Amino acid sequence: MNVPVLTANVQGLVSRGKLTRDKAEKALSMLKGVTDYSEFNDVDMVIEAVIENVPLKQKIFSEIEKICPPHCLLATNTSTIDLNLVGEKTNAKDRIIGAHFFSPAHVMPLLEIVRTDKTSAQVILDLMTVGKTIKKVPVVVGNCTGFAVNRTFFPYSQSAHLLINLGVDVFRIDRVISSFGFPVGPFM
């Protein structure tokens, strides 16, 4: 847990008037860093956010599954890895779900909720509720290469590069995309 970054983000919310100082202090007082999973025995949800490394994610999920209570949601913040692979070494396949936050997570509103064929309906509903509670826009998607957002981003990016190869000006591409409604173009 990167406490200095979390503290800075919360203080930023206070300085912009989006959070009162009292609520910020309360939120920060609830943070607790741990160096092992022993205190995960009474949590309702775990969101793993390590690098995109299948064996590492599998190891984490097989370890936390043994400690977390049976109702605990086991979420991964992966942006591309097949969730069936992530949960392959667990007995809790019905609790495995994707919680793909977009960077920077404290600013971007979308929460891509990735379900597998084995993810229980209750786990999906619980994560949707969490998403709404933290003021995200939860979108439930299936477990496929790139999920929904990256699956559309890859051809978008490839098309922009094709236009450059055809001689279209980079700045023109960004202007057109921005005027279409995207916050930024592919090269900004």
DSSP H/E element including 171: helix 170-180
Q: Which two tokens stand for residue 107?
A: 């600013």
Phi-psi region of 51 (alpha: psi -120 to 50; beta: other; left: phi over 0): beta
- Banded pLDDT at 72 (limits 50, 70, 90): very high
Whether pTM exceeds 0.85: no
User: Is 100 annotated as catalytic?
Assistant: yes
Helices (H), 16-148: 21-29, 54-67, 83-86, 121-133
Beta pairing partners, 112: 100, 139
Both structure tokens of 54: 């299948």
Round to whole Å and give the CA distance between 92 and 104.
Answer: 30
Report pLDDT for 2: 60
User: 10 Å Cβ neighbour count for 109?
Assistant: 10
Asked whether the predicted pLDDT for residue 181 surpasses 90, the reply is no
Instruction: Say which of 71, 100, 106, 161 is annotated catalytic.
Output: 100
